[in-house]
Structure 1
Amino acid sequence: MFSLRSAEKVVALEGFPQSSVGAPCPAIVATEHSLAVLFYVDEPDPNWDGTYVRMVGVESSVEPAAVVSFERPSIHTFGPPNDEAFAGHRLASKGLRPYGAFEILNSQWIRQLEKMNSVHPRHGPKRYMEGKRHFILTFHDTTFECVARGYSIELARASIKELLAKHVEAVNA
């Protein structure tokens, strides 16, 4: 019998900024029609000799950051697994790994959404699924997944707190 799970394929997203592996401090801003993920980007210090630790938090304003805005989002999750329990993710055996950005082709999640929507009197499977894409961003302590039509990336040098305020203000404008 055909298994939807076996048909899924994990593909790394090219050109996506690498999240900080230490403290990416990911955050989301979401409304019914908009969705953005904000996180610190990895920027290795070429002078680091291993003798000190730099503390980073949501108020650290000298860190490079990324804002990923998703186009026409349908659904999202933000939570487990973290990097230490990542083997428990259902797609880990297919190449999904911590600290990355991925698209899931032939997504079981999208198929489940289509099936849920099939009770609508004017539902059309092809029309419903057209353009929907399943994305996964994996961080140190959390995993973000969403279904959307696409995404755009903006890079900034600002604190996550500042970026959150800017995006919440834009949503309320």
Structure 2
Amino acid sequence: MDSELSAMCAWREATRKASKARGEEYATVLPDIGWDVGAPMPHVFSSGHQAFVLFHLAQPSPDWDGTWIRVVDPADPAPAALGLIEFVRPHSVKFGGPNDEVLHGHPLSERGLEAYRAHEVHNSRWITEEERINSVHSNHQGGWHQRMHHYVLAFHDETLECLAADLRLERLTCAFPEAVAQVAARLVALPSDDDAEPED
């Protein structure tokens, strides 16, 4: 199994390098962001000016012997280890399919995309397309690839893609409903001047 994993990692790295050399889009893993692989239960919050995704972090149990599973309930009032990503100056958010069973059908699947990982996409075709659409604006400014990032978060049952200036990761320890309330409060608050900078 270790040899198969090593071969897969080497293949992914080779496809990334090949795509980069050809000037094509490719994905690299963001190593500092992770979540519960089986039941991250991502919840996306977006107002058009702000965007967040809340999810369960991995909580390994020293008593786990492989014969049982932990059922995660979003209504559970017990404190949980949660991750919250805020997308800074988001432009577009897509959330839904593909899930992990069909992730290999994603256009980036042979260009570095990995299941259950967070990524940044380089030479993004999506950024290019959004900049082309925006170019009809009278105040349009080019250089979107320098000011914007394309993120892909491949969860278990959903994939989230976002174009944004940056992202921030926070770790929370509280009940999931409490975290939802915190994010909702931030969503209706006015963004700071730095986070509200226009992209045209």
TM-score, normalization by structure 2 = 0.78
Given candidates 120, 126, 144, the residue that maps to 1:103 is 120
CA distance in 1, matches of 2:70, 2:32: 27
Matched with 1:89 is 106
Spell out structure 1 runs of 4+ moving beyond 3 A: none
Letter in 1 for 2:48: E
Q: Does residue 30 in structure 1 map to residue 78 in structure 2?
A: no
Q: CA deviation at 1:158?
A: 2.3
Matched with 1:114 is 131
What SS does the corresponding residue of 2:147 show, helix, strand or coil? coil
User: Within 5 A, what are the aligned runs for 1:122-141?
Assistant: 122-126=139-143, 128-141=144-157
Q: Does residue 150 in structure 1 map to residue 166 in structure 2?
A: yes
Letter in 2 for 1:70: F
Q: Does residue 7 in structure 1 map to residue 24 in structure 2?
A: yes
Unaligned runs of 5+ in 1: none
CA contact 1:25–1:57 (8 Å) conserved in 2 = no
Q: CA deviation at 1:26?
A: 0.2
User: Within 5 A, what are the aligned runs for 1:18-97?
Assistant: 18-60=34-76, 61-97=78-114
Alignment CA distance shift 1:93-1:6 (3 Å): farther
CA distance in 2, matches of 1:54, 1:62: 15
Unaligned runs of 5+ in 2: 1-18, 190-200
CA contact 2:79–2:176 (8 Å) conserved in 1 = no
Q: CA deviation at 1:106?
A: 0.8
- Length, aligned pairs only: 169
CA distance in 1, matches of 2:160, 2:108: 13
**Which stretch shows the higher mean deviation, 65-74 or 40-49?**
40-49
1:43-93 deviation per Cα after TM superposition (whole angstroms, max 9, x unaligned): 211211123222102123333110000110000100000000111111011
CA contact 2:54–2:84 (8 Å) conserved in 1 = yes
